[in-house]
Amino acid sequence: MRAIALSLMALLVAACVQNDQSTADAIEGSYGVEDVAAGAEFRFGVHQILTILEPSCPLSRKAALLAKFDPVKERFDEIGDAVSGTVHEIDIAIARADRSRHEPVRQCIAPDLSDAEANIERAIVKSMALLDTLESISIQRSDNEGGQ
pLDDT for position 15: 53
pLDDT for position 37: 78
- What are the residue ranges in the chain where pLDDT is below 50? 1-8, 10-11, 17, 24, 26, 147-148
Structural domain harbouring 126: 2-146
Considering the entire predicted model, what is its pTM?
A: 0.72
As a whole number of angstroms, the distance between CA 91 and CA 127 comes to: 18
- Give rounded-to-5 percent helix, strand, coil for the chain: 75, 0, 25
pLDDT for position 131: 96
96-109: per-residue pLDDT in tens? 999 887 766 667 77
Closest CA to 11 of 146, 110, 101: 101
pLDDT for position 148: 47
Total count of domains within the chain: 1
